[in-house]
Structure 1
Amino acid sequence: MSWIKVIPFEEATGKLRTIYEKIKGPNGQIDNVLSIHSLRPHTLTGHMSIYKNTLHHANNTFPNWFLELLGTYTSYINKCDYCYLHHFSGMKRFLQNDSKAAQIQQCIEQDTLHKVLDDKQLALSNYAKKLTLQASEINKSDIDLLKEKGISDGEILEVNQVVSYFNYANRTVLGLGVNTDNEILGLSPMNKDDEDSWSHH
């Protein structure tokens, strides 16, 4: 499951047990990317807060499938199979169109997203790629280019935070050897109106 000790759901006590109860999915599943925090439960709280508020919040502008696509793309670029598999499954579930999801997956892996995204979506995916691989080279002209596509400042911030979150999650997973053993892929918090609702379905 990982290269460091992880406390499983059935052995968790105290604060960790309380958090686990809040985030558990079917059959008490705790995603490995979350249980990896078990030795420091306060960082699990931080992870869940930023994850829920960047990716699954009612005040987001973009639909869940597109934000999941950005996460899938970022994870593919970072060669993080764990997050790639999970969030492709999440994107597919939100998209509710298996053939389109398969086409998007192929374009992610071939770096040909221009075939399946509109101009605005493509500009944001290009921003996601540069933020992931060349963050120090981003400058005002990159942001101005997004604005010229009709993307608002708030939408730019929304995408920036989603992509930044995935870079954090990818490095958590890759740096600690987290894998998908015994997991149901693609679960996510469903209640977008409640910031404190973390249960996975």
Structure 2
Amino acid sequence: MTVLRTTPESEATGLTAKIYDDDVQSLGYVTTHTKTMAVNPEAYEAFEALLGTITADMDLRRYELVTLAAAAAIGSTHCRLAHGRKALKTIPEAELLLIARDFRNAGLPPAEVAMMEYAEKLSSNAAEMTKADGLRLREHGFSDKEIMDITLAAAARNYLSRSVLALGVELDRPPTLSSELQDALLASMETRRA
């Protein structure tokens, strides 16, 4: 549990109340990571604006695949579950189960595997990245803008995931996410830690 004192929903005002309401409108409840990040509501809003700019021209499927790969590399169960739920808007659950278990062997097109591997490496060992990593994406047909968007989406996930982990935020389990998909998303995290 986080060491920060978060604002209870009944006491939220101003920008914090707006941030909470956005969660209620989209999820039906306020997540623990939203409550924690809203301790500095201006920074949270700035992050959301940045993310909106990064993803404005990005395909939702691509964004969610990048996010899931980055979250796994970071060790963020919070983001794996949250984006597992969000990914269902564009990826059928049967396919998402395979991706969650092992994206390299889930029958994805080679370009999507390369993109996820790129996000994974950026999130686990960015100092070892070279020009070859970007060139590999280009070889799979990604434009310069798409490579930039993939990079920024993965880097943004690092910002939020690492903040949530550092602050010891309690894990939310999205109530609409099947237990099978939750298990697959979290089991892959356990495999990485082993």
| Equivalent residue for 1:146, pick from 131, 137, 140 | 137
Match of 1:190 in 2: none
1:92–1:101 Cα contact (<8 Å) kept: yes
Cα gap change, 1:129/1:103 in structure 2, threshold over 3 Å: closer, same or farther? same
Q: CA deviation at 1:184?
A: 4.5
Counterpart secondary structure, 1:160: helix
1:51 partner letter: L
* Corresponding residue to 1:91 among 81, 87, 100: 87
Q: Which runs of 5+ in 1 are unaligned?
A: 187-201
Partner in structure 2 of residue 102 of structure 1: 97
Structure 1 residues 30 and 51, CA, compared in 2 at 3 Å: closer, same or farther? farther
Provide the aligned length of Structure 1 versus Structure 2: 177
Q: Does 1:161 align with 2:129?
A: no
> SS at 1:34's partner residue?
helix
Query: Is the 8 Å Cα contact of residues 82 and 174 (structure 2) preserved in structure 1?
Result: no
Alpha-carbon RMSD: 2.3
TM-score after normalising by structure 1 = 0.77
Residue among 119, 139, 142 paired with 2:110:
119
Measured after TM superposition, the shift of residue 158 of structure 1 is 1.0
- Return closer, same or farther for 1:3/1:137 CA change in 2, 3 Å cut-off: same
Aligned: 1:48 with 2:39: no
Structure-2 separation of matches of 1:185 and 1:169: 22
Partners of 1:147 and 1:27 in 2: how far apart? 36
Question: 1:180 offset after TM fit, Å?
Answer: 3.3
> Which TM-score applies when normalising by structure 2?
0.79
The 1:43–1:170 alpha-carbon spacing in structure 2 relative to 1, beyond 3 Å, is: same
Indicate the SS of the match to 1:21.
helix
Structure 1 residue 33 displacement after superposition: 2.0
2:186 corresponds to: none
Q: Distance in 2 between matches of 1:145 and 1:137?
A: 15
The aligned amino acid for 2:116 is S
Aligned to 1:78, which of 58, 62, 74?
74
* Rounded Cα–Cα distance in structure 2 between residues aligned with 1:99 and 1:141: 33
Point out where structure 2 has 5 or more consecutive residues left out of the alignment: 178-194
Asked whether the equivalents of residues 2 and 179 of structure 1 are also in contact (C-alpha less than 8 Å), the reply is yes
Shift of 1:27: 8.1
- Larger helix fraction of residues: 2
